[in-house]
Each structure stands twice: as C-alpha cells, then as structure tokens.
Amino acid sequence: MKNQDKIKKKAYQLLIKQKCSSFPIRSLQMAADLHYHLETYTEAEKQYGDGGVTRRWMYHCFGNAFVVNICGIYNIFYNEYAGLFNVNWTIMHEIAHIRLGHVKWDGQFIGESYVDKFKYSEKEQAAEYFTSIALCPDTVLDAMHRIDNVEHTALICYVPRDKAKQKVDYFADTAETRMMFSSKNSRSENRLLSQYSDFINTYGKRVEIAEEIYIDFSRLSKVGA
C-alpha cells in the first residue's frame, strides 16, 4: 500500500488534535467532537424511508456504515445494531475516508460497499490502515508491552476480534524491526506518547498488581492441594 507513513502520521495527528490520552478511543464521540453529523440506519429510514432509503437498502449498498458530503457537511450513517466493537471500527473507518480526503464533493457517497466492489482499492486499504492506527496506535501499544493477546487487544481497543488479530499478528511479524528502531520515534509519535504517558504508567502498575495477585493465588492453591 502506498503512503503508509503519511497515513499513519495523519492518524496520529488526529489523536493528538483530539487530545486522546487513554483507551478505548470512542469513534462516535470523536465524530461528534469533529462536528460530523451522525445518524443511525433506523433514524435515516424514518426520515427518508418514503424515498426508498431503508435499513435493508443501506446495508445492501454500504454495509454497516457510509459517509456522504451534503453541502459541505459530512454525514455519517451507521448500523447501530452491528455491535459495539463493529460500530466503533466502522465509524472510525468513515472518519478515515473524510480525513484522507476521499469525500470531496456534495452528494458523494463513500461506504463499506468498497469492501465488496473494490476490495483492493487504494482508498479502502488506506481507510482500513488509518482506522487500525487510530484505534490501536502502534507506538502506544508498543509502549505498553502487552499486545500479544487477541482478546485483550480487542477489549482494550474496542475493536472486532479479527481486527485485533491483525494487529497482534503485525506486532509479532515486526517485533525485530520495531526493536531496532525503537529509539527513532517521529515527532508525532513522541507527542502521542506524552499524551498517553499517565495511562501507560497506570496500566503498567495495574498489570503488575494483577500478576502479583495471580502468583500469590497460585501459591496458595498449591499449598491447599
């Protein structure tokens, strides 16, 4: 995929601009803070159903979410029944399309239909990559030293299990490279780490306490046996 570094930088810049400092990153709240109009499929059907815009039609055409530019206002429509983690991912995916400049003119629709119709399109790949960085920022997760479990990653980042697995696999595949360049963070990476420093430290202390409790419990269990 082209321009990975630029896409990652834009995702980090968004997190910095929105002053994100802990997990999970809630994309619905971020979209509202960015003044994007949010509307569920149910709300859209009530408003536009007479014109044929039904939940079934929206899901068939766009999957779980899509964004349309109406008179310069970005409107994100989403399937509120997709599940918490899926909604979190798909909303950020549409934010990614906006931040990457994919929705440029009035009436232009961009949605998850790209996954089906243009599976390998550059826009879709770029939006997916942006989303993976925005919801699961590499530099922060790396500093936490705990991204080796799919379920844990899904829970802490509020992302679907398959997306969490992709992130865990990526960390495993690039472990050696990241170790070599660990001291060469970009300015945006350092700024993001600074924003997350309290969360990272608190998280580390909680993990240490949990591990100590687990060790003590294991010892007691052996004594009892």
Tell me which of 123 and 206 has the higher pLDDT. Answer: 123
Residue type, 149: N
Position with higher pLDDT, 113 vs 100:
100
Claim to verify: residue 28 and residue 130 sit in the same structural domain: yes
What the block records as the tokens of 155 is 């829970």
Task: Give the model's pLDDT for residue 223.
Answer: 45
Helix, strand, coil shares, percent, the chain, to 5:
65, 10, 25
> Poorest-confidence range of 115-129, 140-154, 203-217?
203-217
The residue range of the domain holding 107 is 23-135
Q: Look at strands 37-40 and 73-78 and give their pairing.
A: parallel
- 110 and 141 part of one domain: no
Closest CA to 175 of 147, 207, 150, 206: 147
Average pLDDT over residues 134-161: 91
pLDDT of residue 182: 60
What does the mean pLDDT of the chain come to? 85
AA letter at 84: L
Our count of domains for the chain comes to 2
Residue 97 and residue 143 in one domain: no
- Are the C-beta atoms of residues 172 and 147 closer than 8 Å to each other? no
* pLDDT > 70? residue 208: no
b/e burial code for range 134-143 (CB count within 10 A of at least 16 → b): bbbbbbbbbb
Domain endpoint, select from 86, 105, 135: 135
Same domain, 173 and 69: no
Alpha-carbon distance values, 203 to 45, 197, 208, 217 (Å): 42, 10, 9, 21
CA distance 71 to 37: 12
pLDDT at 96: 97
Q: What's the pLDDT score for residue 179?
A: 64
Residue bearing the bigger pLDDT, 13 or 172: 13
With a pLDDT cut of 70, the percent of the chain lying above it is: 80
Whether 63 and 112 map to the same domain: the answer is yes
Residue predicted with more confidence, 192 or 72: 192
The verdict on residue 18 lying in a domain is no
* The predicted structure's pLDDT at residue 105: 73
